[in-house]
Structure 1
Amino acid sequence: MSKPRTRTWLKRFALASLALIVLGGGALFIGAAMVLRASLPRDSGEAVIAGLSAPAMVDRDRLGVVRIRGENFEDTARALGFVHAQDRFFQMDLMRRRAAGELSEMVGAATLDLDRSMRVHRFRHRAAIAFERMPDRHKALLEAYADGVNAGVADLRALPPEHLVLRARPAPWTPEDSLLVAYVMFDMLAGSEASDRRLGVMRAALPEELVDFLTPDTTRFDAPLIASANPHDYSPAPIPGPDIIDLRTIPEDNGADVQPDETPIDSLRGDLTFLPIPNPTGDIALGSNNWAVAGSRTPDGRAILANDMHLGITVPPVWHRAQLEWGDRFVAGVTLPGLPGVIVGANGHVAWGLTNTFIDVMDLVRIRVDPDNPDHYLTPDGPEPFTLHEETIRLQGGATETLTIRETRWGPVIDDDYLGAPLAMRWTAHDPEGFDIGLLDMMTAETIEDAVRIAADWRGPPQNVVIADDTGRIAWTVSGLIPIRNGVSGAAPEYWSEPDAGGEPVGWIGWLDESRRPAIIDPESGAIFTANNRTLPPLDALPLSTQWPIGTRASRIRDTLLASNAHTEADMLALQLDTRVELYDEYRDILLETIPVDDPEPLLIRLRELVEAWPGRADAADPGHRLLRDFRRTLHTELFSALTRACIELDPNFSFSWFGAEEPLRRILEERPDHMLPHGHESWPEFLRSLALDMAESIHQREGALDRPWGEANPARVRHPLSLAIPAAGRWLDMPETPQHGDIHAVRVATPGFGASQRMAVSPGREEEGILHIPAGQSGHFLSRHYSSSHADWLKGAPSGLLVNENVTSFRLTPAP
């Protein structure tokens, strides 16, 4: 998407919003205030929803968390739709529009590039197919929820402020719109497009030995859930010799681009949708944590589950808290506005949590256009015509644009590569078998076997699903449709138009058999843990993906869980807030080795003092942690920019990043071969000291000292998207910027705009002792008392209760006459 054009629209929107909020006097101000308050959610009285079988009650506690009591499951879905619409309808509207490529109809040409990129996937068409394929119980749930959403919008006395400013009249909500919201999450969590493109450039530009060294599929930091006894599981490639690459001969080039290892999620494209969006600093991490301990590791035999999903932290937040009750059942946890149920939570029998698996379910296919007919492409069976689809993009004001999409047997053509060759995308999200809302069945699971089966059957972005039950048992499995490949790795763009040596087709040849789906029930250790890391032995993991986030968080979680047999919910929250970062111990040691106590440079002496005093944690008050991070990042950039210089020359848009890049960096620093010494430096001690001094001088020149606390450099910056364009709007729309603890390699992941989108710790059957909090608040309306009511507990890590235990406000929903 064009950033200048986006900023133009954001400024126009924000200025208009500010005019409503702060400008004008007398009647104008009073009128604007009345209109804005007319769009606040209902908190008393009575409203009507068609289709209800009996009246339903909606209670809210002091934080605005809702408790919905309905006659049956569908009635609670109707009531949840009503509440979501009143609290978050603009967020929901943007999400469905983003998935469908329909933002420009509401906001104009600023989002045209984004709409074009999304229309290629034809998600509205796929949502209609997915709905028709669904079982009747899911159709009924989606239809009931849509009834509630439309009733909730109709009950508002004015549309949300954003719709008023944009003069947008939103279309009624449909069941397919809920599926579009789910597709947004699929797009965000299960994409590898940028990584595949990156590796393709590396393979074309660099010697094979160098590519293997820079892109390890195992590292010393791995902490698999299922370990192997094979001593060769960690088998790093050797450092390429000087005959392959010699950094002493590569002059410095400031044009090289290297991303730090806090790599943005490849498909993290959430502009204008209130979903996770790139932080203005570019400092975005990856990850989520979930774990469970069995009754053998608690004092009273209860199993406890903990989950904190790491996403962009925005206003309003991704999740909406709810407690649903019908008949003798209940479920409590976090919901996603736009979907009719609890995504992560507990129901008295089981509790479940999610982390992203990073299983590769998206491949890029290089297309050979038929040289004799450009309307055809080559396949193993000969030339085939492109299937053409015309999509009409409507713009605000009435203008339209027609987009022609070329489809192949493998998927739509999404773009050209750096050489101008077409790239098609093979992705499970495009497959009718690859998408459903089966996760919502978890709300009614009664046993751990039920829950494992539901998780394994769910088709969506592949997730680590960790489960605990009310008998003290725990389990883990992975969800999603997992492709089986022949003749291709899926890690980089490849041609699928020729058969393999045996004459068999290459590409995806089927799906992982359910008998081979990874799963654990009742582990002997009494503990299960995932943190986006590789969970399986290398030979089992390699068919699923070629890279995984390193296991620094997973190993810390594992070691903490196995160190005690008396865990409680409070202990789980304490682990979620843990800031120990062992990764930086090595960089502290390097700096202390590099800078002698009698170094003649005072700035380096001060640097040494601060680093030596570092407590080993990412604490907000400590300046040493910030300095270690900067030193490591500087090393990362200096070495990898030189090693990948040829990639920039081949593709100016190339930017090096790899989840396991810490491994080759450590190898170089440990062995320190002469040919890996960057150009212009005499020795490794001189290079490291020069790098430390340059870093210290740069910080001192910019800030006047080296003592800036880590929390000031890494504040919680929880912003409304509009304030990114108009900072003055942040006074009303943003959460206060606050120093925070945490780091991307700590269990407590925290960067200025990324971190724990929720934290939950719960024992099934003892939900009244459970803990749950989210950032910001329940409401997306800046005048609501619940716009920021949850933020303080989230920021401080206070143990907010999972359940609603006090009704501050209540209203009644009744069937239509």
Structure 2
Amino acid sequence: MAHVPPRAAGRRSGAPAEAGGGMITTARSWKGAAMLTARYTVFRAREPRRRRWSLEDRLAALPRQGLPLETGVEIRWNDHQVPFVEAAGERDLAVGLGVVHGHLRLFQMEIMRRLARGRMAGLLGPVALDVDRSLRIVGFSRAVEEIRQGLPEETREWLAGFRDGVNAVIESADEHPEEFRLLGAAPEPWTLADLVAIGRVAASDFSWKVLRRLLPHSDRENWPAAWQRLIAEGGSPVPSYAGDGRSPGTEDFLAAFGRSGSNSLAVAGERTKSGAAMIASDPHLGVMLPNLWLIAGMRAPGIHAVGLMIPGVPVMALGRNEHIAWGGTSLHAASSDLFDVTDLPDGEIATREETIPVRWGGEGRVTIRECAYGPIISDAPMLGLPKNRPLAMRWIGHDPNDEISAMLGVQRARNWDEFRGALDGFAAPAQTMVYADVRGRVGKAIAAHLPRRGAGPPADIVRKREFLDHWSEIVVGSDFPAEFAPERGYVASANNRPPPSDVPVGFFFSSNDRVDRMNRLLDGLSEGGPDDLKALQRDVAMPSSERIRRGMLEVLDNQAADTPDVVGALATWNGRHEAGSRGALAYELMVHHLLRHLHAAYELALYLAAWDLTAQLARDLEELPRRRLEKAATRAARDAQSDFRRHRTWGAIHRMRLEHPFARVPVIGRSYRFSDDAIGGGNETLMKTAHGVARDTHRVGLGQVARHVSDLSDPDANDFCLLGGQDGWLGSDSFNDQYTLWREGRYVRVPMSRSSVAREFRHVVTLSPAGAGYGEHRHG
């Protein structure tokens, strides 16, 4: 019999009512840092050295009897703690999935719930009060109650079952995750509204990053010309990069869970060895442990699927069923508009106050102002928007949309028409969805709700108030062009600009580097197999770098003697950002120093905030006066030479540091750091490992955090890998066990057939309803 962990202090009766943990752990003041450090240190002193939790230990902790089930549930687990849940009915299946999510990611789910509700201060104290004020003003939960009341009965039952499964884990737990214990907190029961609310966090809008980065520059004298240039070029703003390479913290709380990147492709049967379609997807999100995805399989009458799920969201965001497969990338759609409400009469602005529980500090208050144009988000302290210009935000996520029902429809879809029909209910976050089916066909469609804007780009980053009329009619995915069974035999998406349509989709898209690279590799694919798609997911070539490399060498032709290392490495570079590459290091150092010498700080701030960096630098090299370029390049090469001799290879400064958010807490942080390795890739390589403009050691802040490849000729040929591991429980053998697989290009297979699941998922836990005796935990 496996060891059952003893009841922990986290269950004691004196545990604070406010529970939770911290994805947002960055203290914004010395006072907050000291408070957190003292609290954590006290609890750390009480804890023994973190024990190792084997797979048997972890599975023994699952609730197994007295669950809110009609019949029973069997959960099979493989050696990486990936579950396959099977039930006789859909509600029981949902209960089983709730048990899985609660078991693996309870603390992570708690943070998402607190973000959605604006309740971080109830855990972290006064240091998080401005975070909560900002979250409540933005209003993730604004439409939650209306959504909950309007749910179809089938979806309501599904969510209720999932909720009951999560709560069963909380109620039966003998020990809570380490984060709860260190904070002296305990998880609270979940409600249906909580589940709807965290779906709103997962729907956070890409365009918020754009607006927040650009607005501080909008009062500059040259802003009108800069804005027009930005819009005309459809440039890629900073979200394609990763700023200073830090983990998501308070400054990025709005987009911590948003899908700002990703690659997805599908190959039709005429290009594959098997004659069936294949699909491959790799979502790009903030790099952290635990991962923001988990892998799962499920089966009940009417639902049979495997794929990747967001913790606390009970649907397969990407994966496959018996008939079709699906993936997706962020559309970078304009799902929000800002309105200047400076002259709006006071009578048109409603004001209310809300109370915010504050741990160790009583309570705080926030004043929320709303109008017909949405909440006045310039009041949000964490956004750093101009206070002398009241700005309201209209966001599609404030409407009562139901993405859970839409994705349940996708999970059940059997063909292209059913797939597209289900997606019409999907509003946010706007996605480009990729499709493949067992008949060998592939397709690509938009999943979004957007206002019927007029043709042409916006005149400014902030709209005039009459533009609100465009929001009186909302268009859905089927109103936009789609692609099905294309002649070229594949579809690919990488956050690039979608095809033209009557209604503008957005104005800020990623460069074509990744999609061009996919197109080039897929054009040459004949009789391809899954291994070809897996190799593509690890590709580290960046096509646009060749244009910039040639331009830099042209203006450096007289510098080889003075800066031989940099010029020599740049001249022989193959354009691949490999960890051991000297050329990639020389390229990145030259980009950093050349930008600094070409542009004054005033210009450079807007340059880095707004445009596709590679395209903009390439234009500089082609259009700026030759003398100016040579002077700047000479200085840049000299600076780069010194840096190059210190570092030698790209991987020496480009690091994959996997850590828990607690790693940034003083004193105890080192216990939450798990790797610091040289890594290849870059900002716009297919294996995305994003970084800021770099000259020194930095960490990857955003990148390829999961992989999926399925060959639809075989129901068992479904391969997944997480950057990290399945289990959010610190000390678990499955906490970071897939990191080596990720680095080596290996995958975890998740079959669909009963015989393969029984053979490969050997650890079995059965859940039984009340009055049905004991559930079973066996290895077989």
Same-fold status (TM-score > 0.5): yes
State the Cα distance separating 1:784 from its structure 2 match: 1.5
Asked if 1:465 is matched to 2:491, the reply is no
Does the 8 A contact of 2:290 with 2:727 survive in 1?
yes
Does the 8 A contact of 2:277 with 2:713 survive in 1?
no
Alignment partner of 1:299 out of 263, 273, 282: 273
Q: Secondary structure at the match of 1:561?
A: helix
Match of 1:684? 629
State the Cα distance separating 1:549 from its structure 2 match: 0.9
Match of 2:188? 171
Asked if 1:737 is matched to 2:676, the reply is yes
After superposition, give the CA deviation of every residue in 1:583-636 in whole Å (9 maximum; x if it has no partner).
2213332343344477442xx012122222322211111122022012123333
State the Cα distance separating 1:808 from its structure 2 match: 3.9
Asked if 1:66 is matched to 2:102, the reply is no
Asked if 1:811 is matched to 2:765, the reply is yes
Separation (CA, whole Å) in 1 of partners of 2:244 and 2:450: 20
Match of 1:673? 625
Q: How do residues 146-545 of structure 1 correspond to structure 2 at under 5 angstroms?
A: 146-187=163-204, 189-192=205-208, 194-195=210-211, 198=214, 201-202=217-218, 204-206=220-222, 208-218=224-234, 262=241, 271=250, 287-327=261-301, 329-369=303-343, 376-377=345-346, 384-397=347-360, 399-415=362-378, 417-418=385-386, 420-433=388-401, 437-485=405-453, 492-494=460-462, 496-497=464-465, 499=466, 506-512=469-475, 516-537=479-500, 540=501, 543-545=504-506
Match of 1:714? 654
Identity of aligned residues (%): 25
State the Cα distance separating 1:659 from its structure 2 match: 4.1
Separation (CA, whole Å) in 2 of partners of 1:387 and 1:275: 24
Structure 1 residues 218 and 665: CA distance shift in structure 2, 3 A: same
TM-score by length of 1: 0.82
Moved more, 761-770 or 344-353: 761-770
Please list every run of 5 or more consecutive structure 1 residues that lacks an aligned counterpart in the other structure.
24-31, 223-257, 279-283, 371-375, 378-383, 649-653, 675-681
Letter in 2 for 1:171: E
Structure 1 residues 17 and 217: CA distance shift in structure 2, 3 A: farther
Structure 1 residues 211 and 129: CA distance shift in structure 2, 3 A: closer
Separation (CA, whole Å) in 2 of partners of 1:93 and 1:508: 34
After superposition, give the CA deviation of every residue in 1:402-421 in whole Å (9 maximum; x if it has no partner).
21211100101111653611
RMSD, matched Cα:
3.3
State the Cα distance separating 1:174 from its structure 2 match: 1.0
State the Cα distance separating 1:514 from its structure 2 match: 5.7
Match of 1:786? 734
Q: Secondary structure at the match of 1:205?
A: coil
Letter in 1 for 2:659: R
State the Cα distance separating 1:557 from its structure 2 match: 0.3
Asked if 1:3 is matched to 2:28, the reply is yes
Separation (CA, whole Å) in 1 of partners of 2:119 and 2:576: 45
Asked if 1:616 is matched to 2:579, the reply is no
State the Cα distance separating 1:67 from its structure 2 match: 1.3
Separation (CA, whole Å) in 2 of partners of 1:493 and 1:589: 35
Separation (CA, whole Å) in 2 of partners of 1:509 and 1:488: 18
Match of 1:373? none
Alignment partner of 1:694 out of 639, 663, 684: 639
Separation (CA, whole Å) in 1 of partners of 2:470 and 2:665: 44
Separation (CA, whole Å) in 2 of partners of 1:277 and 1:123: 13
Structure 1 residues 276 and 767: CA distance shift in structure 2, 3 A: farther
Separation (CA, whole Å) in 1 of partners of 2:386 and 2:550: 41
Match of 1:631? 590
Separation (CA, whole Å) in 2 of partners of 1:577 and 1:588: 22
Match of 1:587? 548
After superposition, give the CA deviation of every residue in 1:477-529 in whole Å (9 maximum; x if it has no partner).
111211123599557443544x58xxxx6553311266532211111211100
Structure 1 residues 683 and 334: CA distance shift in structure 2, 3 A: closer
Does the 8 A contact of 1:349 with 1:446 survive in 2?
yes
Asked if 1:140 is matched to 2:154, the reply is no
State the Cα distance separating 1:53 from its structure 2 match: 1.4
Does the 8 A contact of 1:40 with 1:156 survive in 2?
no
Asked if 1:660 is matched to 2:625, the reply is no
Structure 1 residues 129 and 16: CA distance shift in structure 2, 3 A: farther
Does the 8 A contact of 2:397 with 2:428 survive in 1?
yes
Does the 8 A contact of 1:261 with 1:657 survive in 2?
no
Please list every run of 5 or more consecutive structure 2 residues that lacks an aligned counterpart in the other structure.
1-25, 380-384, 691-699, 752-756, 772-780
Separation (CA, whole Å) in 2 of partners of 1:775 and 1:798: 11
State the Cα distance separating 1:51 from its structure 2 match: 2.9
After superposition, give the CA deviation of every residue in 1:226-268 in whole Å (9 maximum; x if it has no partner).
xxxxxxxxxxxxxxxxxxxxxxxxxxxxxxxx979625599x9
Q: Secondary structure at the match of 2:768?
A: strand
Match of 1:91? 108
Structure 1 residues 522 and 619: CA distance shift in structure 2, 3 A: same
Does the 8 A contact of 1:262 with 1:286 survive in 2?
no
Structure 1 residues 71 and 711: CA distance shift in structure 2, 3 A: same
Letter in 2 for 1:526: G
Separation (CA, whole Å) in 1 of partners of 2:638 and 2:99: 59
Letter in 1 for 2:281: N
Structure 1 residues 76 and 514: CA distance shift in structure 2, 3 A: closer
Moved more, 325-334 or 743-752: 325-334
Separation (CA, whole Å) in 1 of partners of 2:402 and 2:163: 23
State the Cα distance separating 1:196 from its structure 2 match: 6.2
Separation (CA, whole Å) in 1 of partners of 2:252 and 2:618: 39
Does the 8 A contact of 1:14 with 1:722 survive in 2?
no
Separation (CA, whole Å) in 2 of partners of 1:438 and 1:214: 34
Structure 1 residues 285 and 665: CA distance shift in structure 2, 3 A: farther
TM-score by length of 2: 0.85
Q: Secondary structure at the match of 2:306?
A: strand
Does the 8 A contact of 1:46 with 1:812 survive in 2?
no
Letter in 2 for 1:736: S
Separation (CA, whole Å) in 1 of partners of 2:332 and 2:309: 23
After superposition, give the CA deviation of every residue in 1:178-220 in whole Å (9 maximum; x if it has no partner).
1222111112x4333543661683475206445434554357x
Alignment partner of 2:717 out of 762, 769, 779: 769
Does the 8 A contact of 1:577 with 1:748 survive in 2?
yes
Moved more, 684-693 or 413-422: 413-422
Asked if 1:131 is matched to 2:144, the reply is no
Structure 1 residues 615 and 542: CA distance shift in structure 2, 3 A: farther
